[in-house]
Structure 1
Amino acid sequence: MTLGSVAAGHPLTADAAAEALRAGGNAFDAAVAALCAACVAEPVLASLGGGGFLLARPAGGAPEVFDFFAQTPRQRRPAAETDFRPIVADFGDAAQEFHIGLGATATPGAVAGVFAIHAALCRLPIADLFAPARDMARQGLAMTAFQHGINRIVEPILRASTQALALFADPDHPDRLAPVGTRMRMPDLDYALGVLASDGPDVFYRGDWAHRLTRDCAERGGQLRLEDLASYAVVRRPALSRRYRGAVVHTNPPPSQGGSLIAFTLALLQQVDPSAWGQGSAEHLDALASAQELTQRLRRDGAFEHADWAAALEPETLDRFTALMREAAVFTRGTTQISVADAEGNLASLTLSNGEGCGYVLPGTGIMLNNMLGEEDVNPQGFHRWPRDRRISSMMAPTLVALPEGCWVVTGSSGSNRIRSAILQVITNLVDFGLDVERAVAAPRLHFEGDLLNLEPPLAAETLAQLAGRWPSIKTWSQKSVFFGGAHTVLMDARGCASGAGDPRRGGVAIEVSA
């Protein structure tokens, strides 16, 4: 008997979700178990010191978002007193500057999110959902090539403190990062999950951990105070829903930007018929790039300049979204995606992020805190000018799609600004071209940003020549890349049978779970 399907960024993350389904849990139990497991199996991308979103659709119910993303502090510390410093991450063919330190940490929401989701939607005891992550943390797991590659990219962050390096170091050579195949253990995180299972979230937001974190912030240049942690609350919102041809897309609403921008781009694409050109044709890719370019213009200027395209959008919605997006700070960095559908028809799309991590580890817990105040997009007028006590906006866009034939798709993506383009292309591959879920996820992607059109292979020379006449700045990638996101996706058909596809760009896996 099929119990459901899971797609995630690591085999053990997916296994934890599958274990919850086999134990009688639903899709939301599976998502919570996978979130905790990801903090062990994907520790740079996922942490209880970060935050995220769950888009939940209980069987027969309306999709709803649980927003447990980070919140800006209530007060700003003078910049001269703040632990806030740049590091450079080496991506091989490019380098990028990030800012870390306790002064880059916003109020985390992941712990509150886990407990809010559990109270509202889950059926298994929370200790049971923590158990797979605790077992992994205690017994250890082998360092994969993908995770090792991520660690090398952000090595300056992992070396920011002895406590951070200890989480990722070779046990036999503690002065260097663990190589591929090394068995990594996280005993402090095992302990922390045990405390949370018995004591609940108050230990993090009001208890001993809160006092230790805020004391360290006060003494070592952080921004967080006890009132920031004690006042944090998960926000539940109706999903943003929009029709796209015969499908209905449900995604993350404002104040986060990602879902709104996907909805706008779909509205633009609806004015043309990509299926008439063929998937991957020059005309198809040009339409995708044009829609992304115009959506970028909306984000930058708050309005489209071309009336023909703007006519596809409701003025009231455009005004409301533009106002909300202008008010919110924006966060766009590293994430991991968990997608689950169960045989009862429950659907869970969960996106989790820790940024790159700030380099500070809460003592005794193995939990690295986020660096979400150290992102340029949060500070368009310069660092240390973020709006106070406000939920940080995000490009993260956990998404559900109701297809015309009665199927449901659960998707979302990691990938910074590429999140929205990855999700968009999975949707159009399914709706416009009728691809199955595995091909829809694996198909080559493009992403337009700034003035540059990024194209993923394979790409015919004739197609590239046609696009070059329209887009003067093109970068053609030599292979599929993490740059283009990680859209781990599952599909539930009208008969209750589920299938999935992990995104190969980010080591994704999919499991069809049977009793």
Structure 2
Amino acid sequence: MPMQAMRTLFLISSVFLTLIFLLMFNETADAQFDRLNEHFITRSEVVAANGMVATSHPLAAQVGLQILMQGGNAIDAAIATNAAMGLMEPTGNGIGGDLFAILWHEESQQLYAINASGRSPLGLSYEQLMAELEAMEETRIPPSSLLSVSVPGAIDGWFELHERFGSLPMADILAPSVHYAENGFPVPEVIADAWRRSARILANRVGAFIETFTIDGRGPEKGEIMRNPDLGNTYRLLGEQGRDVFYRGEIARKIDAFMREHGGYLRFEDFDQHRSEWIETLSTTYRGYEVHQIGQNNQGTAVLQMLNILEGYDLSEMGFNSPEALHLMIEAKKLAFEDRAKFYSDPDFNDLPFERLISKEYAAERRALISDRALERVTSGIEGLRDGGTIFLTTADREGNMVSLIQSNFRGMGTGFVVPGTGFSFQNRGELFSLDPAHPNVYEPGKRPFHTIIPGFVMKDGKPWFTLGVMGGEFQPMGHVQILVNMIDFGMNVQEASDAIRWLHTNSTEPTEAWGDYLKDGGLVRFESDIDPAIVEALRAMGHKVEIGGGFYGRFQGILRNHELGVYVGGSESRADGQAVGY
């Protein structure tokens, strides 16, 4: 064969083989893309070896990363990130609120948990509270009243965490937030929308709300620069003088005077006596994973109860978003939430059956109530809270320390009551007391109210595996369970598990209601709008009341530790402004 003909044949063959290779590659890539797209993944995970921060404001995440890169550890970074979040996302958190955290300490090879929630005023009796409410013609504690304000616990939580595990000076940890408070920061899109709504609601509050949190009486638009020099000064005082300036010094005295002037009941004594509590987590196993929650006066116990019930079923065989798997998850939620409504409260005031609630034996009893039809009438097995304002953040460092921290004002920006010169709004967590004297969560002086905010931590084979939080009022236990089931049962990665379509079940009995109340109508299931209509019809055929759209489906952050590769893998809520960042 002539040389020219051979060259031509070789060229044609090469092109043909290349085309075949490309087609095969594209089919593989397309199949991979389709697999991910099936679960609505928005972006890849973040992978880093030396440290990671994930939260719902990009600049706050970068503040935490800056602290890590300066030599701080995960505890320092968590405090720094929380301080930045209180400044930059006051619609969800701030130092007028409470805090819970679970952390893995690499050096001691131990898991630690802190309950940094505040207590009701010592000087306000149940009888006086009821008289106040009667005069106001209210049947429950209103979130717009100073009656809903309990002692802010977040600052004491910071200093407890720092004293035990911190490495950098507190002044250095708070310095980035002081800088942003004085020089300004741009407001991102989702936060700007919530800020404008809160500003319209809270503009008439007594105190310094307008001067502190608005631009000429309105909330900021996306991209506008906000400043809060009063909060910057408060942070500076905390860095210089420590926690006592807040609980025994200048700030406590300002708050006492403000409360006396405007009819509130918190006093200097309440701040002086406040202490956080180091506690043992509550935990259960789920398919070989050890899942930890705070328990006590928050709703983390519901996560453990739901997982215990679900462990009796092969969800992976049923498949992600199958009507059968969804039915079981919804039913488990109904059962757990009736116990939530009756028992989750301050253990200092009651002998509460937490060990029974999270036992495998009790889960088996509750599981036996589930059939192929939706439960309508559900009570506790042992004789709401909608879209609250909360932030979750998680950090990890090069030594292996990991922090799962959640912090909140409760409703958006809290009460909107701002003591002039302090730069923060008080929480309205006291709204979540019951007024039924027979209820464990009934209001009492010096008592911690029920909380919705829950940090999660998962261990595997005795090692830290995953930190997670899904802020959002009553949705939080449902969010934790959906993320964990997506990862453990359905094999999704961190970001994929977050981006998958979510469901929300509402109208279960609340911890604020009377002891004898229970779920009577089965409640309502909501799905994000991308749900397959065939799934909705299948659930309706089982007896569920289902609506598409509406509701609030939470905000997720999480960091997974891959011990084999020596890296962290992070995911961040695509429905919000934040991000996971690492180095």
The question of a shared fold, defined as TM-score above 0.5 by the shorter chain, is answered with yes
Q: 1:354, CA displacement in angstroms?
A: 1.0
Per mean C-alpha deviation after superposition, the further-off stretch among 53-62 and 188-197 is 53-62
Q: Is the 8 A contact 1:53 1:350 kept in 2?
A: yes
Structure 1 486/98 Cα, relative in aligned 2: closer, same or farther at 3 Å?
Answer: farther
Query: Which amino acid letter does the alignment assign opposite residue 45 of structure 1?
Result: G
Structure 1 348/158 Cα, relative in aligned 2: closer, same or farther at 3 Å?
Answer: farther
Per mean C-alpha deviation after superposition, the further-off stretch among 13-22 and 394-403 is 394-403
Q: What does residue 208 of structure 1 align with?
A: 250
Cα distance in 2 for partners of 1:84, 1:145 equals: 41
**1:296 equivalent in alignment to 2:296:** no
Q: What does residue 279 of structure 2 align with?
A: 237
Structure 1 85/278 Cα, relative in aligned 2: closer, same or farther at 3 Å?
Answer: farther
**1:310 equivalent in alignment to 2:310:** no
Q: What does residue 533 of structure 2 align with?
A: 461
Cα distance in 2 for partners of 1:507, 1:244 equals: 31
**1:220 equivalent in alignment to 2:258:** no
* Deviation digits for residues 185-243 of structure 1 (CA, Å, limit 9, x no counterpart): 11111111111111111111111221221122122110111211100001000111211
Q: What does residue 95 of structure 2 align with?
A: 48
**1:410 equivalent in alignment to 2:467:** yes
Query: Which amino acid letter does the alignment assign opposite residue 211 of structure 2?
Result: A
Instruction: Write out aligned runs for 1:11-410 (5 A).
Output: 11-59=58-106, 61-76=109-124, 78-79=128-129, 99-154=143-198, 155-161=200-206, 163-170=208-215, 174-253=216-295, 255-300=296-341, 310=362, 312=364, 333-356=388-411, 357-373=414-430, 375=431, 377-381=432-436, 386-403=443-460, 408-410=465-467
**1:489 equivalent in alignment to 2:546:** no
Q: 1:393, CA displacement in angstroms?
A: 2.9
Q: Is the 8 A contact 1:398 1:411 kept in 2?
A: yes
Cα distance in 1 for partners of 2:421, 2:398 equals: 39
Q: 1:309, CA displacement in angstroms?
A: 8.0
Q: What does residue 93 of structure 1 align with?
A: none
Q: 1:82, CA displacement in angstroms?
A: 8.2
Q: What does residue 470 of structure 1 align with?
A: 542
Structure 1 438/36 Cα, relative in aligned 2: closer, same or farther at 3 Å?
Answer: same
Cα distance in 2 for partners of 1:86, 1:48 equals: 31
Structure 1 350/84 Cα, relative in aligned 2: closer, same or farther at 3 Å?
Answer: farther
Query: Which amino acid letter does the alignment assign opposite residue 312 of structure 1?
Result: A
Q: Is the 8 A contact 1:240 1:251 kept in 2?
A: yes
* Deviation digits for residues 151-187 of structure 1 (CA, Å, limit 9, x no counterpart): 23322124424611222222xxx13332222110111
Cα distance in 1 for partners of 2:445, 2:543 equals: 40
Query: Which amino acid letter does the alignment assign opposite residue 112 of structure 2?
Result: E
Query: Which amino acid letter does the alignment assign opposite residue 576 of structure 2?
Result: R
Select which of 575, 579, 582 maps to 1:505: 575
Cα distance in 1 for partners of 2:485, 2:273 equals: 40
* Deviation digits for residues 406-443 of structure 1 (CA, Å, limit 9, x no counterpart): 66111112100001111111111111111100001111
Structure 1 70/301 Cα, relative in aligned 2: closer, same or farther at 3 Å?
Answer: closer
SS in 1 for 2:52: strand
Q: Is the 8 A contact 1:258 1:420 kept in 2?
A: yes
Structure 1 501/85 Cα, relative in aligned 2: closer, same or farther at 3 Å?
Answer: farther
Q: What does residue 505 of structure 2 align with?
A: 448
Q: 1:367, CA displacement in angstroms?
A: 1.7
**1:10 equivalent in alignment to 2:57:** yes
Per mean C-alpha deviation after superposition, the further-off stretch among 348-357 and 78-87 is 78-87
Select which of 452, 472, 481 maps to 1:424: 481
Instruction: Figure out how many residues of one structure are paired with residues of the other and give that number.
Output: 484
Query: Which amino acid letter does the alignment assign opposite residue 399 of structure 2?
Result: E
Query: Which amino acid letter does the alignment assign opposite residue 111 of structure 1?
Result: I
Query: Which amino acid letter does the alignment assign opposite residue 561 of structure 2?
Result: M
Query: Which amino acid letter does the alignment assign opposite residue 29 of structure 1?
Result: D
Larger radius of gyration: 2
Query: Which amino acid letter does the alignment assign opposite residue 487 of structure 1?
Result: F
SS in 1 for 2:470: coil
Query: Which amino acid letter does the alignment assign opposite residue 291 of structure 1?
Result: A
When the two chains are superposed, the root-mean-square deviation of aligned CA atoms in Å is 3.1
SS in 2 for 1:413: strand
Q: Is the 8 A contact 1:6 1:511 kept in 2?
A: yes
Q: 1:83, CA displacement in angstroms?
A: 13
Structure 1 125/259 Cα, relative in aligned 2: closer, same or farther at 3 Å?
Answer: same
Q: Is the 8 A contact 1:83 1:102 kept in 2?
A: no
Cα distance in 2 for partners of 1:333, 1:83 equals: 26
Q: 1:313, CA displacement in angstroms?
A: 7.2
Cα distance in 1 for partners of 2:526, 2:361 equals: 23
Cα distance in 2 for partners of 1:433, 1:195 equals: 49
Q: What does residue 518 of structure 2 align with?
A: none
Q: Is the 8 A contact 2:203 2:217 kept in 1?
A: no
Query: Which amino acid letter does the alignment assign opposite residue 157 of structure 1?
Result: L
Cα distance in 2 for partners of 1:298, 1:67 equals: 21
Q: Is the 8 A contact 2:52 2:570 kept in 1?
A: yes
Q: 1:470, CA displacement in angstroms?
A: 1.6
Q: 1:86, CA displacement in angstroms?
A: 11
SS in 1 for 2:53: strand
SS in 1 for 2:555: coil
Q: Is the 8 A contact 2:78 2:393 kept in 1?
A: yes
SS in 2 for 1:217: helix
Per mean C-alpha deviation after superposition, the further-off stretch among 455-464 and 47-56 is 455-464
